[in-house]
Homo-oligomer: A and B are copies of this chain.
Amino acid sequence: MHTAPSIEAASYQPPTWEAILAAHARIAPRIHRTPILTSISLNAMSGAQLFFKCENLQKTGSFKIRGASNAILSLTESEAARGIVTQSSGNHGAAVACAAAWRGVPAWIVMPNNASAVKAKAIEGYGGKIVFCDPTVTARKATCDRLQAETGAHLVHPYDDDRIIAGQATAAKELLEEIGDLDAVFAPVSGGGLLSGTCLGAKGIRAEVHVFGCEPARADDAYRSLASGTLQSQDSSDTIADGLRASLAPRTFAILRRHVDRILLVTEEEIISAARLVWERMKIIIEPSSAVAIAPLLNPGAVASLNLPKRPDGTAPRLGVIFSGGNVDLSALPWK
Contact = CB atoms under 8 A, between A and B. Distances in A.
Contacts of A336: 331
Contact of A59 (B32, B40, B61): B40
Interface in A315-336: 326-327, 330-331, 333, 335-336
A280 B287 CA distance: 12
B326 A330 contact: no
A37 B283 CA distance: 14
| Interface size, A (range) | 20 to 34
A331 B336 CA distance: 7
Nearest to A282: B57
Contact of A283 (B276, B285, B331, B333): B285
Contacts of A40: 59
Contacts of A286: 283
Contact of A35 (B35, B59, B282, B335): B35
How many of these chains are in the complex? 2
A59 B37 CA distance: 11
A91 to B, nearest CB: 12
A333 B333 CA distance: 10
Nearest to A276: B330
Nearest to A59: B40
Interface string A47-82: 000000000110101000000000000000000000
Contacts of A32: 38
A279 interface: yes
Contact of A284 (B276, B284, B327, B335): B284
A196 to B, nearest CB: 24
A330 B279 contact: yes
Nearest to A118: B280
Contacts of A284: 57, 283-285
A226 to B, nearest CB: 31
Interface in A225-282: 276, 279-280, 282
B57 A283 contact: yes
A279 B283 contact: no
Interface string A1-44: 00000000000000000000000000000001001011010000
A-B pairs, top 6 by smallest CB distance, nearest first, are: A283-B326, A35-B35, A283-B285, A56-B283, A284-B284, A57-B283
Interface of A: 32, 35, 37-38, 40, 56-57, 59, 61, 276, 279-280, 282-286, 326-327, 330-331, 333, 335-336
